[in-house]
């Protein structure tokens, strides 16, 4: 009987073992990359909103403070979405006839909320509270990016656990003085490392063990 395998089968066997290993490794690597991709995290994805509201104009050009609209950011878990009255404080006169404002005026007339599309959607097994973050020196732009330069708001960061933990492990690398929380022009380089540690102490930020304990965020 002739040989069932010819000589090249040896090489094929070796190469297929190698290919198998490479395949598994590639699959694993692709998984980690896919899980961090904006396709799954929603990062950098602009959303169509019912009103063509531009943060770039209202924050960047007009210099309106974040809290004029997001008024509960210092006191509650949610930063707060403005009631339609907040829009009408100015738009009762400014651009009052613009068709772009029709959804706002309709909401005001009919007393129905504007159905904004949520941009930052944390999973509901995480406990997140805006007020403690702004009270402990985390600025708006640290997590939300340059909102004053976003015509349509997108998610600047992955919002994944590794991203949260990067700051919870070493908050001193990200915090700023409380007077600069709402300053969109703040740069991380505005403080040196010594000042950061002093700031961390003066803000009474808890230990790394406490900050990275499971129940700090999952409760």
Q: Please report, as ranges, the residues that interact with other proteins according to CB under 8 A.
A: 1, 4, 20, 23-24, 27, 30-31, 34-35, 40, 62-65, 67-68, 71, 76-78, 80-81, 83, 85-86, 88-90, 92-94, 111-113, 115, 123-125
Closest CA to 105 of 82, 87, 81, 80: 87
- Cβ of residue 132: shortest distance to other proteins, in angstroms? 15
Looking at the Cβ atoms of 9 and 197, the one nearer to other proteins is 9
Nearer of residues 81 and 152 to other proteins, judged by Cβ = 81
43, 155 contact by CB (below 8 A)? yes
Nearer to other proteins, 82 or 208 (CB): 82
CB of 28 to other proteins, least distance (A): 8
- Contact between 188 and 196 under an 8 Å Cβ cutoff? The reply is no
List, as one string, the DSSP characters of 38-56: HHHH-BT-----SS---HI
Tokens, residue 176: 């700023």
* CA 97 vs CA 48, 91, 94, 115: distances in Å: 22, 9, 8, 21
Q: Which is nearer to other proteins, 91 or 206 (CB)?
A: 91
CB of residue 169 vs other proteins: minimum separation in angstroms? Answer: 24
- The least CB distance from residue 216 to other proteins, in Å, is 18
Kindly tell me which of 124 and 192 has the beta carbon lying closer to other proteins: 124
Tell which residue, 205, 133, 126, 215, has the closest CA to residue 169: 205
Q: How far is the CB of 209 from other proteins (least distance, A)?
A: 26
């Amino acid at each position: 009987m002739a040989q069932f395998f010819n000589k090249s089968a040896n090489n094929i066997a070796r190469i297929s073992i190698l290919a198998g290993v490479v395949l598994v490794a590639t699959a694993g690597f692709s998984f980690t990359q896919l899980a961090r991709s904006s396709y799954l995290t929603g990062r950098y994805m602009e959303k169509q909103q019912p009103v063509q509201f531009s943060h770039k104009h209202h924050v960047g050009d007009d210099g309106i403070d974040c809290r004029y609209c997001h008024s509960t950011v210092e006191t509650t878990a949610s930063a707060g979405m403005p009631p339609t009255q907040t829009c009408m404080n100015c738009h009762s006169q400014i651009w009052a006839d613009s068709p772009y404002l029709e959804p706002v005026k309709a909401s005001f007339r009919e007393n129905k909320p504007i159905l904004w599309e949520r941009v930052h959607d944390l999973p509901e097994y995480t406990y997140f509270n805006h007020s403690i973050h702004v009270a402990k020196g985390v600025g708006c732009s640290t997590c939300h990016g340059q909102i004053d330069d976003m015509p349509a708001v997108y998610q600047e960061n992955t919002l994944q656990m590794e991203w949260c933990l990067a700051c919870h492990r070493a908050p001193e690398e990200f915090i700023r003085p409380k007077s600069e929380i709402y300053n969109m022009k703040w740069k991380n380089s505005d403080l040196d490392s010594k000042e950061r540690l002093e700031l961390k102490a003066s803000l009474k930020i808890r230990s790394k063990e406490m900050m990275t304990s499971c129940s700090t965020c999952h409760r």
